Structure 1
Amino acid sequence: MGKSLKLLCKDSAACVADPGQTRFDLLTRGALSASSCLLPSDGSCHSDSMAAARAEAKEHENSHNNCLIQLANPHVAAMKEDILYHFNLSTSTCDFPAMFGDVKFVCVGGSPSRMKKFIRYIAGELGLDHPGEEYPNICVGTDRFAMYKVGPVLSVSHGMGVPSIAIMLHELIKLLYHAKCSNVSVIRIGTSGGIGLEPGSVVITRQAVDACFKPEFEQIVLGKRVVRNTDMDEQLVQELMQCSADLKEFTTVVGNTICSLDFYEGQGRLDGAICFYTEKDKQAYLQAAQAAGIRNIEMESSVFASMCRTCGLRAAVVCVTYLDRLKGDQITSPHEVLAEYEQRPQRLVSHFIKKSLGKV
């Protein structure tokens, strides 16, 4: 695949708006400084240095830290105004660098209420929470998505399924571009059905695969089939796995994830309104998936991996498993148990954020 996006770095600083001119003046302001470098779409900085491997790795890290996001779309730069319709935000009415320029971590999940809970949680973990603190929905005026921010962390809901998260990601990536953000990690935190894992286990996705176990995302663009890669950022995967080892709180595995287009037939469930296969058929499919290194099933990871990779963003998917699909289809655990399971990816990602910021 061609290098469809480049991250271009140059000396810059985030513009800071007059707080009286924006309804979001409560958001944290920040300035960005950067030095020149060029990043290919896999997020790695090119270096001509022949220094030792350790020095080169350090240079890679420093370069990545200072690279600004550029879009894989030349048309946006020519637009006088960019309306992020589903966020109810516009470049003509909002100062994106002032509002979002300090963002380094974007956490996304299906449910608006879950993402609001997460922003409250991470605020406390980072010492940014205060008694009576409110975290208003930045996307006020629309019920499509919800967005919350504290410090360098943005928390965004994406709804359910590939079409919904794809819409959100287009506008999120443009938001980060207009805000002149650098060194951003995007992590989906969610729930899933496990394959051969005890309920409550956490899966960090290495590759998102389709229902035929192929590591690709297929989309029809202008009547033509376009296939893109669905690898996650391997370094980020390993960093998250190390964070789980630091915590030692729950079972965490790295594996591949099926991204299904459906909750019922697409995932081999026997309890939907339509089903023309048997329990034996289902078991054969899930066992084949397990043998192929697949550890869970959800509904967003392929387009998430594809779009983030195409746009040079470090990306990871961290999902807890609610049940072992080899043993059943319906989620029967008590609500309080599921609520604790739901917090596990949040605790893992929170530890990663704190560790990245030197707060551990």
Structure 2
Amino acid sequence: MASILSASNKSMRSDGNTYVGKRFVHVKNPYLDSMDEDILYHLDLGTKTHDLPAMFGDVKFVCVGGSPKRMKAFALFMQKELRLEESREDIKDICAGTDRYCMYKIGPVLSISHGMGIPSISIMLHELIKLLHHAQCCDVTIIRIGTSGGIGITPGSVVITDTAVDSFFKPRFEQIILDNIVTRSTELDKALAEELFNYSKEIPNFPSLIGHTMCTYDFYEGQGRLDGALCSFSREKKVDYLKRAYKAGIRNIEMESTVFAAMCRLCGLKAAVVCVTLLDRLECDQINLPRDVLEEFQQRPQLLISRFIKKRLGLHDQRS
């Protein structure tokens, strides 16, 4: 544990080398400083009820994903990969007092679920970013790992996102705030994406690529599916739309990346999105692979992020 913490307290560049100076997590809300207490309601944490710097001050890597079960599995996987001494039974859900999200801390790694869709991940990110700020964390890298639908690529391929785009193929996140439409950039850290892609090449039988990810507000009609309770378009229009998306550089579709990219960018967090594809949407709409194949596919982003974290901590060569 000591070697992990000492390594994680160094400031790191995207190429793995150290540099002088710290990159703190910023909040863009002038009203927070005047609050006597900040209650992170959906995480069951607070600035008066918990010593956030003591609990989270050493966090350097935050991994978020939709499923509570999957993020617990990732935490257990990282516990093994980082060779920590705690038993598997000792892993505890820090957010056990709420049924909205789960959170596990493994050394300098935080594993958190965010639910499904932009509203759910947005709520989690507001409170997570405030948590990292209150805990005085610095040089934090945050990565969304998950599943997605591919466009024109083989199922099981891992897409490392360079830019998150909306349903019009634009690199933006539009949000209604009061009665205004606010538009924010969704550019992700390209050096981080390249670093992850380079590490993916070291993993045998690991198809990966860098591409745009389209984020939608819906799983069915919003993604051009023909199998929902409602369908207001033809098969031909669906195929034409997805082909235009492919020509625009989009290689997968999910439902969280635009708000994730926008919020992390504004708050000084280096961010990446790494999602495996479970089907090619040009071929079908329903996920019909055997369960064991799906489980293996879903582990692929975890394998890559584990390799990335161990490389950053200087542990990967030791295990090899």
Q: Shorter-chain-normalised TM-score: which range?
A: over 0.9
Distance 2:138 2:302 in 1: 23
SS at the partner of 1:297? strand
Which of 113, 138, 142 is 2:69 aligned to?
113
Structure 1 length as normaliser, TM-score?
0.83
Residue deviations 1:8-43 (CA, integer Å, cap 9, x gap)? xxxxxxxxxxxxxxxxxxxx98899899xxxxxxxx
Q: Which residue of 2 aligns with 1:192?
A: 148
Alignment of 1:118-267 (within 5 A): 118-267=74-223
Find the aligned partners of 2:279 and 2:26 in 1 and give their Cα distance: 40
- Equivalents in 2 of 1:34, 1:356: separation in Å? 10
CA distance in structure 1 between the aligned counterparts of 2:160 and 2:8, rounded to whole angstroms: 30
Structure-2-length-normalised TM-score: 0.93
Aligned to 1:337: 293
Change (3 A) 1:97 1:301: same
Determine if contact 2:24/2:268 at 8 Å carries over to the other structure: no
Deviation digits for residues 125-173 of structure 1 (CA, Å, limit 9, x no counterpart): 1111544442111011110111001100000000000000000000000
Contact 1:119 1:148 in 2 (8 A): yes
Q: 2:19 aligns with which of 62, 75, 83?
A: 62
Contact persistence 1:218–1:228 (CA under 8 A): yes
Question: How far apart are the structure 2 equivalents of 1:142 and 1:197?
Answer: 38
Q: Which runs of 5+ in 2 are unaligned?
A: none
Residues 39-69 of structure 1 show CA distances to partners (whole Å, capped at 9, x for unaligned) of xxxxx9xxxxxxxxx9xx97xx5145x2322
Q: Check the 8 A contact 2:173/2:258 in 1, yes or no.
A: yes
- Provide the rounded CA distance (Å) in 1 between the counterparts of 2:304 and 2:5: 26
SS at match of 1:246: coil
Change (3 A) 1:352 1:29: closer
**2:150 touches 2:278 (CA, 8 Å); kept in 1?**
yes
Identical aligned residues as a percent: 58
Give the structure 2 partner of residue 104 of structure 1.
Answer: 60
> What letter corresponds to residue 159 of structure 1 in structure 2?
G
Does structure 2 conserve the Cα–Cα contact (< 8 Å) formed by 1:30 and 1:102? no
Task: Find out whether 1:72 has 2:20 as its counterpart.
Answer: no
CA distance in 2, matches of 1:282, 1:63: 51
- Report the AA paired with residue 255 of structure 2: M
Q: 1:132 to 1:323 in 2, by over 3 A?
A: closer
CA contact (8 A) 1:257 1:294 kept: yes
- Match for residue 358 of structure 1 among 309, 314, 320: 314
- Confirm or deny that 1:297 pairs with 2:253: yes
Q: Deviations over 1:189-213 (max 9, x none)?
A: 0000000111100000111111110
The structure with the larger Rg is 1
- Summarize deviations over 1:68-111 as a string: whole Å, max 9, x none: 22311111111110000000101001000100000000000001
2: distance between equivalents of 1:34 and 1:189?
24
Relative to structure 1, is the Cα distance of residues 62 and 85 closer, same or farther in structure 2, using a 3 angstrom cutoff? same
Name the counterpart of 2:271. 315
User: Greater relative contact order (Cα 8 A, min sep 6): structure 1 or 2?
Assistant: 2
Equivalent runs, 1:13-92 vs 2, <5 Å: 62-63=19-20, 66-92=22-48
The secondary structure found in structure 1 opposite 2:116 is: coil
**Aligned partner letter, 2:42:** H
Q: 2:243 aligns with which of 276, 279, 287?
A: 287
Task: Check 1:197–1:90 CA distance in 2 against 1; reply closer, same or farther (3 A cut).
Answer: same
Amino acid corresponding to residue 19 of structure 2 in structure 1: N
Contact residue 38 and residue 46 of structure 2 kept, 8 A: yes
